[in-house]
Amino acid sequence: MRDDTPNETHRVHLSRTFDEDAELYDRARPGYPPELFDDLTEVAGIGPGCRVLEVGAGTGKATLPLAERGCRITAVELGADMAAVARRNLAAFEAVEIVTADFETWPLPEEPFDAVISATAFHWIDPAVRMTKAADALRPGGALAVVATQHVAGGSEEFFVEVQDCYERFDPATPPGLRLPAVEDVDTSDHEDEVVRSGRFGPVVFRRYEWDLTYTTAEYLEVLRTYSGHRALPPTARERLLECIAGLIDRRYGGRVTKRYLTELRVSRTAPALR
């Protein structure tokens, strides 16, 4: 299963796990490649004074770079603790408002937005609502920009093969022999299909970014503790899983592993106004 396709049966429950330790999330989760924000300017028209609605802002990992580019941002975040950390991180920017609400029921303001942006969060929004409401929030010709992040083959490749033994031992939901996909095998056409089905947007423009991040053992365990699937495990199983992973990194990889990320930007626009 891709990182951005949660099982619909568990989507709502898992989406609420992030708020359990917002400080850990803010400390451990990486941000996004700078080139992504450059491309947002080119493809989605993001720039100074642009009116942006951010869906699922978390602690502000994408909000801050957007604010630094002069955007006026209304950021909607479901988790109260996550929103509080985001307000702290964005305190220097008067043009940023953090709203604690779920996007599905939050009343849209009368003034439309130039862009709706969702970074590693759109998959947590109810699929029956997200496309239509995003379109309703936009001015004619406005852009929907969805950012998705995947863990792909690369980096410390042998570690990610070996570590599956830990997951198979302590997480019964782990498929046997699971392997990370190569970048070229990651098919995200389902987003394009969803855009087409909505009937509200034009063609999707895709941009991809591969990047590596090296973690110490402690840093890697911290980032794992922010993932919904790990957080949802029974506490004893989770701690044994993490102990198994830590032992493998320290014993076989000198206390450091490198993870390869694939970040994808997906931009589509609403129909322009008729002249």
Q: What is the pLDDT of residues 164-181, one digit of tens each?
A: 999 999 998 899 989 999
Q: Rounded to 10 degrees, what is the CA torsion of 96, 100, 101, 107? A: -40
Pairing of strands 72-77, 51-55: parallel
CB 60 within 8 Å of CB 31: no
Confidence of residue 231 (pLDDT cuts 50, 70, 90): confident
- 3-class secondary-structure state, position 210: strand
Looking at residue 251, its pLDDT comes to 97
For the chain, what is the mean pLDDT? 92
Looking at residue 15, its pLDDT comes to 44
Q: What is the pLDDT of residues 121-130, one digit of tens each?
A: 999 999 999 9
Q: What is the pLDDT of residues 75-97, one digit of tens each?
A: 999 999 999 999 999 999 999 99
The number of helix segments (H) and strand segments (E) in the chain equals: 12, 7
Residue 228 pLDDT exceeds 50: yes
Q: What is the pLDDT of residues 5-50, one digit of tens each?
A: 545 444 344 445 556 789 999 999 999 999 999 999 999 999 999 9
Residue 229 pLDDT exceeds 90: no
Q: What is the DSSP letter of 263?
A: E
Residue 188 pLDDT exceeds 70: yes
